[in-house]
Structure 1
Amino acid sequence: MKHCKEEAAPIARVLDDMGKTIGWVYQWNTSELTILWIKKGGPAKSIEPPLCLQTLALAKAVTRDAITDLLETLLDQPKKNPR
């Protein structure tokens, strides 16, 4: 039985290189992950708080797409502390 996306909750912020929030990562009841982009501009540089590897694995088990690829890439980025 395929589950429908019914509700989602924000679980992390997507940050630019200045540490400003440019999007929110949402986790759906199906374990899928999506991003609500709230600001255009610089590229995404990090996620705060970092996603749990299990969360990303569950999302990839449901669907592998550009969002899960981006989030996986951002997890591998060294954290930069803006001043």
Structure 2
Amino acid sequence: MRCFVHKSLRKADTYVYLREPDGAALPVALRESLGPLQQVLELELLPTRRLAQADTARVLEALEQHGYYLQLPPPPQSGGA
């Protein structure tokens, strides 16, 4: 599946994978909370492709069902010792 990856210019390390390049599938409230989006990548997403920060199967499922997948930054790691 062809997908388009955009980063939020308002929220650091937050990315949206979109099935369509125009982002029409994004709910209005989500679009507004993310602020401006900048396309950073266009790729052919296959079940065998590995992604650095997301599970490929979950991304593909979300794209099929909702037209988008929201990738949030990883939670901060505690420095306990």
By the TM > 0.5 criterion, same fold? no
TM-score (structure 2 length as normaliser): 0.29
